[in-house]
Amino acid sequence: MTMNSVLENIKQAEHNCKEHGVRLTSKRKQVLSGLLQADKALSAYELVDQCKDESGKTMPAMSVYRILDFLAEEHLVHKLDSNNKYVACSHITCSHGHEVTQFLICEKCQRVDEINIDPSMIEQLQSNVKDAGYHLISPQLEMKCLCETCFTTFPHPN
């Protein structure tokens, strides 16, 4: 992501936080900015390294985890369970609801696309859940993929 886009995202994030009565501190900006620049999913410890590289100062892992939790609550980043990594929300600058989200995750390069799901499909998924006697609490679909580049570059199964 270009530096301009990063700044635009940060600005919007700041605005969103203000609206929610919470603060986007400089450390939080630093972590979010790191994720936005990376343009892929990073682990908490990769973010520790990146913060060190960018600022020269060591950010404790504990702080990174706390900040990631905060950013996730603000819907500014998402945690991907598939690979225990974190990715910036790709809808910060567009006004967006937070319905069921579908992530396409490249297993090789950690590139992530966050795509929309057809509302009728969401309904069907929801009704499957309900029919089975469950209550959905975190609707996040993660699909383990290869992106086009990695698919053509690397040998792959089948």
Partner DNA sequence: AATTGATATGATATATTGTATCATTAGAAG
Partner DNA sequence: CTTCTAATGATACAATATATCATATCAATT
Residues engaged in binding DNA (CB under 7 A):
22-23, 25-28, 43-46, 57-63, 65-67, 70, 84
Distance of CA 75 to the CA centre of its chain: 8
Residue 155 interacts with, from DNA, a copy of itself, none (CB under 5-8 Å by kind): none
Please give the structure tokens belonging to residue 39. 């343009």
Q: Is 105 helix (H, G, I), strand (E, B) or coil?
A: strand
Among residues 16 and 102, whose Cβ is nearest to a copy of itself?
A: 102
Give the number of residues written for the chain: 158
Nearer to a copy of itself by C-beta: 95 or 138?
Answer: 138
Which C-beta is closer to a copy of itself: that of 18 or that of 144? 144
Q: Which two tokens stand for residue 127?
A: 């009704």
Q: Decide: 147 and 109 in contact? Cβ < 8 Å.
A: yes
Rounded to a whole number of angstroms, the minimum distance from the CB of residue 56 to a copy of itself is 34
Other C-beta atoms within 10 Å of 94: how many?
7
Residue 37: name its binding partner from a copy of itself, DNA, none (Cβ under 5 to 8 Å by kind). Answer: none
* Shortest separation between residue 62's beta carbon and a copy of itself, angstroms: 20
